[in-house]
Amino acid sequence: MSTDPTSSIPRPDANGLVHGLTIEELKLLSTSCLEARALAYCPYSLFRVGASLLIHASSPTTASTTVISGANIENASYPVGTCAERTALGTAILQGHRLGSFKAIGVATDMDDFCSPCGMCRQFIREFCGNEVPVFMHNKSGEFRVLTVGELLPMSFGPEKLPPREVLKGVVGVEQGGEGGEKIKEA
């Protein structure tokens, strides 16, 4: 089923932008995540999810790529399945994209309601997208709600919260173990 997301695009701001995206970028993002639902492998839940990442034009890698998409991939061993957001981000990371590459995220389902990324995906997204990156959550008609990564995962844990390993060695106390390895000192 093709959906026309252009019918529901809100009025742009004074700069012609909607949550920082041009109308063309927004159309591309919306169309991409709605179409990506068709890629879903979801024989168990039958719940198709498409996700797309809008890449900053200035991103150093693959200049021609503007959107990278993914969909959920389920498994007969149910917990092994992967969400659409993480398949899309995994593809982008393998193409060399990192924090700073992503301008926006789009997610789409077949539901009337607006589906937000699950908790695990919010944490995964947080590693690679700054707090200000908008997440466009689409329903089946192409209408969307928008929250930023920071709004979806406030007070989040990220790489900058981890002290360097050498500092932590001093905190917990590390000694040489057998065969050249290390072990935490016994209290």
Which residues lie near ligand THU (CB under 6 A)? 42, 45, 47, 49, 72, 74, 81, 83-85, 117-118, 121
Shortest reach from residue 74's CB to ligand THU, in Å: 5
Nearer to ligand THU, 20 or 81 (CB): 81
User: Does 42 carry a binding-site annotation?
Assistant: no
Which of 69, 84, 83, 136 has the alpha carbon at shortest distance from 106?
Answer: 136
Verify whether residue 85 is a known catalytic residue: yes
Residue 158 CA: distances (Å) to CA of 67, 75, 122, 123, 145: 25, 28, 11, 8, 25
> Would you say 117 or 142 has its CB closer to ligand THU?
117
Amino acid at 75: N
| Least distance between ligand THU and beta carbon 85 (Å) | 6
Nearer to ligand THU, 21 or 36 (CB): 36
- Is 59 flagged in the annotation as binding? no
CB of 93 to ligand THU, least distance (A): 17
Point out the catalytic residue in the list 25, 85, 132, 151. 85
Question: Which residues have a catalytic role annotated?
Answer: 85
Binding residues: 72-78, 83, 118, 121
